[in-house]
A and B are shown apart, each in its own frame.
Chain A
Amino acid sequence: GNSVTQMEGPVTLSEEAFLTINCTYTATGYPSLFWYVQYPGEGLQLLLKATKADDKGSNKGFEATYRKETTSFHLEKGSVQVSDSAVYFCALKGYSSASKIIFGSGTRLSIRP
């Protein structure tokens, strides 16, 4: 079945550091891939998405490229801010309209001023 594996946290960085959160997936066919973010005490919000190989999703300075050859969708940001502290979830949806979204276990990111 479909699955998502993401980097375990917590990840702690200093402000303005470079961020990478790894995500790899297993799926048949051509799934859509997502990164969601959860700020403390809130629900999840879509951060970015990519629906086909080599697509790059981007939002708020974050980027992720859909790499079919390595089955990866790593999240990157060039210079993190304290306000980026949150839990980040990688997710996958299979091609079939009946497929459910599969979420990774989440990676907690803390940014030090």
Chain B
Amino acid sequence: DGGITQSPKYLFRKEGQNVTLSCEQNLNHDAMYWYRQDPGQGLRLIYYSQIVNDFQKGDIAEGYSVSREKKESFPLTVTSAQKNPTAFYLCASSSGTGNENIQYFGAGTRLSVL
């Protein structure tokens, strides 16, 4: 089945630790996105990538890093510089063309601080 796979489903981070969230898609989409969702709030864009080996900061990129070495993969690293990392993280992809640009989402990773 085509879709977006995020792993792990739950992740715990210790103080001063970097953690990496995985996002893989087999939809052959060019564009991929990372969002952060806090309780009772909407989605905030962290980083996005419209093509392999290129990515741009979103609205809240500080404390996060990404890479896009392969079309199907867009891992997000939450660094120790992110002081409030507890949130639900959502990865999405889209064909990246036209003004319809429907985004398809993974099931999310819930990150908590120990």
* A interface, CB within 8 angstroms of B: 30-32, 34, 41-46, 49, 51, 89, 93-97, 99-101, 103-106, 108
Check if A31 sits within 8 Å of B99, measured CB to CB: yes
What residues of B have a CB within 8 angstroms of the CB of A105 in the complex?
41-42
Cβ–Cβ contact B45 & A100, under 8 A = yes
Do residues A93 and B101 form an inter-chain contact, with CB atoms below 8 A?
A: yes
Choose one: B45, B97, B102, B107; the contact of A97 (CB below 8 Å): B97
| Nearest B-chain residue to A93, judged by Cβ | B101
A-B contacts besides A30-B99, A44-B90, A106-B41, 20 pairs, CB < 8 Å? A34-B102, A41-B108, A42-B107, A43-B105, A43-B106, A43-B107, A43-B108, A45-B105, A46-B102, A51-B99, A89-B42, A93-B100, A97-B98, A97-B101, A100-B45, A100-B48, A103-B43, A105-B42, A106-B40, A106-B42
Cβ contacts A to B, 26 pairs, < 8 Å: A30-B99, A32-B100, A34-B102, A43-B90, A43-B105, A43-B107, A44-B103, A44-B105, A45-B105, A46-B103, A46-B104, A49-B100, A89-B42, A89-B43, A93-B99, A97-B96, A97-B98, A97-B99, A100-B45, A100-B48, A100-B58, A101-B101, A105-B42, A106-B41, A106-B42, A108-B40
> Across the two chains, which residue of chain A brings its CB closest to B106?
A43
Contacts of A100 in B (CB 8 A): 45, 48, 58
A95 to B42, CA, bound (A): 22
* Residues of chain B in range 68-98 having any CB-CB distance to chain A below 8 Å: 90, 92, 96-98
Contact pick for A104, options B4, B42, B45, CB 8 Å: B42
In the complex, what residues of A have CB within 8 A of residue B106's CB?
43
Look across to chain A and name the residue whose beta carbon is closest to the beta carbon of B105.
Answer: A43
Contact partners of B103 in chain A: CB under 8 A: 44, 46, 101
Pick from A42, A97, A108: contact of B108, CB below 8 A. Answer: A42
* Chain B, 51-66, CB within 8 A of any chain A CB: 58
